[in-house]
Copies of this chain bind each other. A is one copy, B any other.
Amino acid sequence: MRILGIDPGLRATGYGVIESDGARMAYVASGTVRADSKDELPLRLKAILEGVAEVVATHGPQLAVVEKVFVNSNPQSTLLLGQARGAAICALVAADLPVFEYTALQIKQAVAGHGKAHKSAVQEMVRRLLRLSGSPSPDAADALATAICHTNHAASRRAAAAPSAGAGLRLKHGRLV
């Protein structure tokens, strides 16, 4: 399963692609889609839409995961960030990708074990979990962490869906069901 994580922003939208077979995961790609802050808003949204669409076309993920953004203390900034997030999600749904959402708290807990981890701690844990030689940029690390978060949640959903040991497990096509 190839998973695309997105950390949306109006200036910089981080992306990270990983492969996961449920038990193990591997790094595929990561980077940042940038929109020129001197451009008018519609052009900035177009840059995000086209940039994320290009990432999807290049790396062919089967699903996407987007960080739920915080509401900013400045309502105008919240409105701008909302529009940027809307543009990124549009690129994903236009490619018919299922889109999952997690909060920053859930994402930090998934990679660093607690919800108040600093950006540098997230970067370091992403580097270790994906066995990278160097740390990805903060935006790309957040996006990779978002993708990693989904693999954890998907794994726990599978565990929760499986019958308890006492209820007895059945083998079907060589797998416990």
Chain A interface residues toward B at CB < 8 A = 40-43, 45-46, 49, 66, 69, 71-72, 75-76, 78-87, 89-94, 99, 101
Q: Tell me the interface secondary structure of chain A in the complex.
A: helix
Besides A40-B101, A71-B76, 8 more A-B contacts (Cβ < 8 Å) are A42-B92, A45-B89, A45-B93, A75-B75, A75-B78, A78-B79, A83-B83, A87-B89
CB-contact partner of A86 in B66, B90, B99, under 8 A: B90
The residues of B that contact A86 with a CB separation of less than 8 Å are 45, 82-87, 90
CB-contact partner of A69 in B71, B79, B94, under 8 A: B79
Copies in the complex: 2
Chain B, Cβ-Cβ closest to A47: B93
Per the bound structure, the CA–CA distance linking A71 and B93 in Å amounts to 26
The residues of B that contact A79 with a CB separation of less than 8 Å are 69, 71, 78-79, 81-82, 85
The residues of B that contact A81 with a CB separation of less than 8 Å are 79, 82
Chain B, Cβ-Cβ closest to A94: B49
Chain B, Cβ-Cβ closest to A69: B79
Tell whether, in the assembled complex, residue A93 and residue B46 are in contact, meaning their CB atoms are under 8 Å apart: yes
